């Protein structure tokens, strides 16, 4: 393996990790997938292998397991890491904060320690637009001030950003990029990989597709009294394949030493806000079906509206979201149909 063309993907069996692995391989990188499968399924790795037409090197390791990580770093040659591995359920984090602080902070610390020990330079980190809270001015730029987190999950994203910032300040050999994702949705066009939520989905699009598949009776729309186009909350929904390509662009930037500073942050969104109802209608139209839905009160902790300013990512990463919302919602439905044999 060529060290500079090999990427370690921690959390590579997860939703965004699996799509990113596909894009990395298709861009000419070799990928080592690492995942403890605590919130992912080995079938995702098989799905990726089918798409790329080759076997992947896979390690079933928990990033918190320092000895196992040390051994793997010793054995393999790579110069870039994408660190996806983290818990991500906002509600669960409120009920089990220590689970989130323990896992999400410790795993990054181990990754950074191992990078230092084994002279691995490049890190791409999964951050989130959750760090902005409800911004006063939209769209949000990377300069928009962060706000106090409203959940332990959101707090771990802020703390992880700070851990990278401080480590990069102390150690100029660390080259790092945090990508602040907006709302990733959709699936690979092959329908071989997609989102696999465990239990009742908390996120909108998996709930929509499961309702369309008859697994859920009714979609609940949380709140129609927001100050938005139709009263429902507005988000920037980004196609997961486009998001995956942003990671390839970030890895390229690190490998080509194009960074302006050794810790950079980019928003990864489309730049367009869409309301919940707009998304539901677009899903119905493109897939030619009707969804059962009802309006209910606002969900606690939800913000009213957010969407990204993406100029920095467009100009510096040379990346832009390309898929239309229709293509993305079609891919989400195709994935659900394939899963349920519909
Ligand atoms: N929604 C519904 N019904 C549902 C599910 C969601 O109406 O059954 C609404 C929500 O109230 C919200 C919108 O759809 O207005 C989007 O909700 P999601 O749960 O899909 O996404 P969030 O924006 O709440 O959360 C996402 C990620 C988090 C991340 C956050 C950053 O899931 O990990 O974006 O803002 F922290």
The pLDDT tens digits for 103-136 are 999 999 999 999 999 999 999 999 999 999 999 9
Q: What percentage of the chain has pLDDT greater than the value 70?
A: 100
pLDDT at 68: 98
How far is the C-alpha of 191 from the C-alpha of 176, rounded, in Å? Answer: 32
Query: Please, how many CA atoms are within 13 Å of residue 10, restricted to the half-sphere of its CB?
Result: 29
Positive or negative, the CA dihedral 84, 90, 91, 93 is positive
Residue 4 has pLDDT above 90, yes or no: no
Binning pLDDT at 50, 70 and 90, where does residue 149 land?
A: very high
Atom 6 in ligand 1: which residue has the minimum CA distance? 204
Atom 30 in ligand 1: which residue has the minimum CA distance? 130
Q: Report the alpha-carbon angle 104-106-110, nearest 5.
A: 120
Binning pLDDT at 50, 70 and 90, where does residue 3 land?
A: confident
SS3 of residue 300 by DSSP: coil
> Are residues 6 and 78 in contact, defined by beta-carbon separation less than 8 angstroms?
yes
SS3 of residue 201 by DSSP: coil
Residue 161 has pLDDT above 90, yes or no: yes
pLDDT at 2: 83
Nearest partner of 251 among 51, 65, 52, 79, judged by Cα: 79
**How many angstroms is it from 341 CA to the middle of ligand 1?**
27
pLDDT at 177: 99
Alpha helices in the chain (DSSP H): 15-26, 42-52, 66-75, 90-95, 97-100, 106-117, 152-170, 204-212, 240-255, 276-287, 311-312, 325-339
**How many angstroms is it from 105 CA to the middle of ligand 1?**
23
First to last CA, the chain: 41
Active site residues: 153
Which ligand 1 atom minimizes the distance to the CA of 151?
36
Structure tokens given for 255: 């490998």
Query: DSSP character for 305?
Result: B
Ligand 1 pocket mutation pick from 147, 235, 237 by most atoms within 8 angstroms of CB: 235
Which ligand 1 atom minimizes the distance to the CA of 234?
15
Structure tokens given for 121: 């330079």
Q: What is the pTM of this model?
A: 0.98
Chain position carrying tokens 């851990």:
163
Structure tokens given for 74: 């010793």
Tell me what the mean pLDDT of segment 60-85 comes to: 98
Q: Which residues pair with 80 in a beta bridge?
A: 7, 122
Atom 32 in ligand 1: which residue has the minimum CA distance? 203
261-287 per-position pLDDT tens digit: 999 999 999 999 999 999 999 999 999
How far is the C-alpha of 67 from the C-alpha of 110, rounded, in Å? Answer: 10
Ligand 1 pocket mutation pick from 299, 303, 328, 332 by most atoms within 8 angstroms of CB: 299
Tell me what the mean pLDDT of segment 227-235 comes to: 98
Nearest partner of 9 among 88, 118, 25, judged by Cα: 25
Residue 43 has pLDDT above 80, yes or no: yes
Neighbour-count burial of 336, counting CB atoms closer than 10 A to its CB (0-12 exposed, 13-18 middle, 19+ buried): buried
pLDDT at 78: 98
**How many angstroms is it from 301 CA to the middle of ligand 1?**
10
| Radius of gyration for the chain, computed over Cα atoms and rounded to the nearest angstrom | 19
Burial 82-112 (b: 16+ CB within 10 A, else e): bbbbbbbbbebbeeeeeebbebbbebbebbb
Structure tokens given for 283: 């899903």
Structure tokens given for 141: 């730029």
**Mean pLDDT computed over every residue of the chain:** 97
**How many angstroms is it from 203 CA to the middle of ligand 1?**
5
pLDDT at 98: 98
312-338 per-position pLDDT tens digit: 999 999 999 999 999 999 999 999 999
293-303 per-position pLDDT tens digit: 999 999 998 99
How far is the C-alpha of 289 from the C-alpha of 296, rounded, in Å? Answer: 22
How far is the C-alpha of 130 from the C-alpha of 170, rounded, in Å? Answer: 26
Tell me what the mean pLDDT of segment 164-188 comes to: 98
């Amino acid at each position: 393996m060529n060290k500079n063309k090999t990427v370690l993907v921690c959390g590579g069996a997860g939703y965004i990790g699996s799509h990113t692995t596909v894009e990395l391989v298709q861009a000419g990188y070799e990928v080592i997938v690492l995942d403890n499968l605590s919130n992912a399924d080995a079938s995702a790795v098989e799905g990726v292998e089918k798409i790329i037409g080759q076997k992947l090197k896979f390690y079933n390791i928990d990033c918190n397991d320092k000895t196992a990580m040390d051994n793997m770093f010793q054995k393999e040659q790579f110069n870039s890491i994408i660190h996806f591995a983290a818990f991500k359920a906002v509600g669960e984090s409120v009920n089990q904060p220590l689970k989130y602080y323990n896992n999400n902070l410790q795993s990054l610390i181990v990754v950074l320690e191992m990078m230092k020990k084994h002279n691995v330079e490049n890190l791409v980190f999964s951050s989130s637009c959750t760090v902005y809270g409800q911004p006063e001015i939209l769209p949000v730029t990377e300069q928009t001030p962060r706000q106090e987190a409203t959940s332990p999950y959101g707090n771990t994203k802020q703390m992880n950003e700070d851990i990278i910032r401080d480590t990069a300040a102390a150690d100029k050999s660390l080259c790092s990029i945090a990508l602040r994702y907006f709302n990733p949705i959709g699936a690979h066009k092959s329908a071989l990989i997609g989102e696999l939520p465990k239990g009742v989905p908390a996120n909108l699009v998996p709930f929509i597709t499961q309702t369309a598949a008859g697994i859920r009776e009714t979609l609940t729309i949380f709140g129609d009294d927001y100050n938005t186009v139709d009263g429902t909350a507005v988000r920037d929904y980004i196609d997961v394949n486009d998001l995956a390509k942003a990671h390839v662009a970030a890895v390229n930037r690190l490998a080509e030493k194009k960074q302006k500073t050794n810790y950079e942050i980019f928003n990864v969104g489309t730049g367009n806000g869409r309301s919940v109802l707009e998304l539901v209608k677009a899903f119905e139209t493109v897939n030619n079906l009707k969804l059962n839905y009802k309006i209910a009160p606002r969900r606690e902790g939800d913000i009213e509206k957010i969407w990204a300013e993406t100029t920095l990512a467009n100009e510096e990463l040379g990346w832009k979201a390309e898929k239309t919302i229709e293509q993305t919602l079609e891919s989400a439905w195709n994935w659900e149909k394939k899963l349920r044999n519909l």
